[in-house]
Structure formats: C-alpha cells, structure tokens
Amino acid sequence: MTIKSALKTDWFFLLVIISLAILIRSLNFSDSLNFSSDQAKFSIKSLEILRGEINGPVLIGPSVSLQLEGKEFYQGGVIYYFQALFLFLGNLDPIRASYLFMLFSCLMTIPLYKGIKSLINEPSAKFVAICFCFLPTFISYTKFLWNPNFQLSLLPLFFLLLGLYKKHHKIFWLLLAGISFGIVFQFHYQLFIGFLLILAFMKLYLKFTLKKTLIFISGVTLGFLPMIIFELRNDFLNTNTLLFYFEHFSEFSNSNSSAGFFTNRHYFISLLLIVIVLGLTSLKNLNLKIVYSLATFLIAIDLFLYIPKPTQGFGMAENWSYPDELKSYNLIQAENIESYNVTNLRYDTLAQTQKYLHKKDNLSENITDYWETTKLFVIALKSKDINSDPAYEVQVIKPYKVLKEWEINQYYKMYLLEKN
C-alpha cells in the first residue's frame, strides 16, 4: 500500500481525528474538570458497590433533576456501575477516572463511523465522526463522569449494531441494537424523544415493517428490564410519579426544578447526535470538501476555546476547580483532626466532593453529623460573611471561634471553626 492510498483509508482518517480529539480534550484537563456535587454523589455510590458495601444489585440510579412536591423519578442503576468501572480503572482518582472516560469516548468514534457508513454512506460517516470529535458541546460533555455524558458516549454502539443489521439483514443485530438502546435509555430520559425519532427513521428511511419495529422495541424492553423489575417490585413508583407530574403539569412547568430544562445543554446532547445522523439521510450527495472544511473550522474554534487556561471547572462554581477542592482536602488532612465536618458555602453546603475524597481514603469515620460536630471546615468566598450565612451547617455550630484560615485561591478561603 502506498502512502497516497493509505491516506484515503478509514483507519488513517479515524487515527487522525481521534488523535486530535484526544489532544484537544487533554488541554488544561485538570483545571477544566467537573467533579462536583453530582459526580461526587454518584462516585460515593459507585465506591460502595466496588467495596461490596451494598447487598444485591442496584436497580435504580439517581433521581432526575425535575421534581415536584418531593416526588422523584429515578434513572437506571447502570449509571453507578458504569461510573464504577472508570473509578476502578483510575484507582479511584477523579482525574484519572475522568481522563480514561474521555479516552473511551474518543475511541467510540470508531463504532460510530462504522455504523453510519453502513447506515448511510462514507461522506455522512465522516461528517458525523467529525461532529462527534470536534463540536465544542460534545467535547465539553465527554470529559467528565456524568450520566448524560455516559449516554452520549454509548450511543455509537447502537448505531454500529443498527448498521450491522442493515448490512447483513439478520434479526440478531436488530435485537442487539434494541437492547443497546434500552440500556443507554437508562442513563438519561432525554432519549425518549430520540427514541421516537429513531422509530420514524426506521419506518421512513429503513422501510421497517411492523414486525421488525416490534422486534426492535422488544430489544429496547430487554435492555430496559432492570427498571421494569424495579417498577414491579415497588408498586410502579416511577409510573405513578410520572402520572403525578402530568396531573400537576401547571405546577410542574412553573417549578424551580423545571426552570432550566430548555437552557441546560446536557438535556439535549444525545438528542443532538441523533438529529445530526438522521438529518444526513436527506442529503443525497455530501461533498467531502465540505466535510473537511467543517473539520478545519471546528478545530480552529476548539483551539481558541480550549487552549486558554479556564478560570473554573466546567459547570462548577465561578473561579472554583477540582484542584482547589483537592488543595482544600489536603489542608484538612494536614490538621490531623479526628472528628469534624466540611461545608462549601459557594455551591454545595454538604461538600459532597470532600465526602467522596474522605471515603476514597477510608477517612469517612472522621466526618461527624453537622448537628453534633464541634469543628467545621468552611469553604467560602473571601468576600463572604460566613457568620451571616443562613446555611444550617454553619448555624448549628454557633457560637464559634475561628481557629485557623487558609487561602485556597485568589477568591476563596477556608476556615476552621470550633464551637464555643
């Protein structure tokens, strides 16, 4: 094979774009890492699974962010197991685990490309692969551990299996595609709209009969089986909650939990990938020059966005990052105190990230209940008057004296309070 012919092969194209995707995502990785409340809470649960602290399989995962009157709607327990995999491979270190997930996400470009090439054609496959690698939204959401991100990273497997079905016309691949979709659906229910679009795609583009559609839906049901078992064991908790949401739709649509639904990008990242794929079916002749021009344009934007050092972790509090969290944790351990608690008044009064770091290092016994603690580490903005903060984590330790304080960065300090 000559160099010229090698340049035209699939493997060379994939090698180049995946290498560039990894490089761009690696820029300022630790400083841009999001390991905050949700990531820490999920990691604590995953760590309990890894250490055998939970009896039996975990069927449900965290609740969705949309809530009303204390009623919660739960996602799949597969979230905790998938996160546990990367924590295990990363030796429980959030940076290593997140970096490994990022590498995994980039490598999923391969099944995505292969699947779309079989489903549509080569130019479309290159277009989708380039979008997956270089769209800033996809870059940002494939760099940290979170269930919507997991869903996005696993969708390529579904497209690969569907492409294999179209290529070989064997029901086995169609059933597997359905199972993979059902499993991925457990990670975030944003995919329901995508499910409807996929059914339309199968009918209009793949010309599916009713029988084939039912086979696919049967596969989805099998993949979603853990949640179905949970429903049967718990008097249809999710189903009843969903009905409650519909019955109180006017209250639900005006609630605080639903206010950010249309502004939070993570609700739509998997849907965006599906829309890109399905949209390409309407383009008969996609010019490769356009595809490569898109890659050049997106890479230029990415370098502009990701080369500068960020002022905070992605999605984290302003001027706060995981290295700041880690610095705080190390300062706490240096004090060698046997019983205390921690609060972060800026974005998480329960300080879940600190709680995970303690559990990782088998120091959870140091953490006392807020109502009983006599020593409290408080992370807050320098400009913040912690004495007037309404958070009960601070109020219950009053009256107190400040034993010590540290500067975490230009904007934040940490205080050690002791109850008088």
Number of neighbours of residue 296 by Cβ within 10 angstroms: 11
Global confidence as pTM: 0.93
DSSP-based three-state secondary structure for 1: coil
Task: pLDDT band for 91, please (50, 70, 90 cuts).
Answer: very high
Is the confidence at residue 66, as pLDDT, over 80?
A: no
120: left (phi over 0), alpha (psi -120 to 50) or beta: alpha
User: For the segment 326-362, what is each residue's pLDDT rounded down to a tens digit?
Assistant: 999 999 999 999 999 999 999 999 999 999 999 999 9
Give the mean model confidence (pLDDT) for residues 67-71: 72
Give the mean model confidence (pLDDT) for residues 26-35: 97
Average pLDDT, rounded, for the chain: 92
Is the confidence at residue 6, as pLDDT, over 70?
A: no
Q: Which helix (H) or strand (E) holds 401?
A: strand 400-407
pLDDT at position 3 is 56
Give the mean model confidence (pLDDT) for residues 191-204: 93
The answer for residues whose C-beta is within 8 angstroms of residue 291's C-beta and 6 or more apart is 123, 126, 127, 130
Residues 142 and 108: their CA atoms lie apart, in Å, by 11
In 3D space, the residue among 192, 209, 170, 215 whose CA is nearest the CA of residue 274 turns out to be 192
Q: Which two tokens stand for residue 3?
A: 């160099």
In 3D space, the residue among 318, 34, 12, 268 whose CA is nearest the CA of residue 138 turns out to be 268
Report whether 25 contacts 102 (CB < 8 A): yes
User: For the segment 130-186, what is each residue's pLDDT rounded down to a tens digit?
Assistant: 999 999 999 999 999 999 999 999 999 999 999 999 999 999 999 999 999 999 999
333: left (phi over 0), alpha (psi -120 to 50) or beta: alpha
Is the confidence at residue 189, as pLDDT, over 60?
A: yes
In 3D space, the residue among 135, 35, 17 whose CA is nearest the CA of residue 86 turns out to be 35
Bridge pairing between strands 412-419 and 74-76: unpaired
The answer for residues whose C-beta is within 8 angstroms of residue 365's C-beta and 6 or more apart is none
pLDDT at position 63 is 85
Query: How deeply is 334 buried, as exposed, middle or buried, from its count of CB atoms within 10 A (0-12, 13-18, 19+)?
Result: exposed
pLDDT at position 237 is 87
Q: What are residue 345's phi and psi, to 5 degrees?
A: -80, -5
- pLDDT > 70: percent of the chain: 94
pLDDT at position 84 is 97
User: For the segment 229-287, what is each residue's pLDDT rounded down to a tens digit?
Assistant: 989 988 888 888 888 877 777 665 555 555 455 567 788 899 999 999 999 988 878 88
For CA atoms 223, 228, 230, 236, give the dihedral sign: positive
Q: Which helix (H) or strand (E) holds 378?
A: strand 375-381
Torsion of CA 74, 78, 80, 83, to 10 degrees: -130
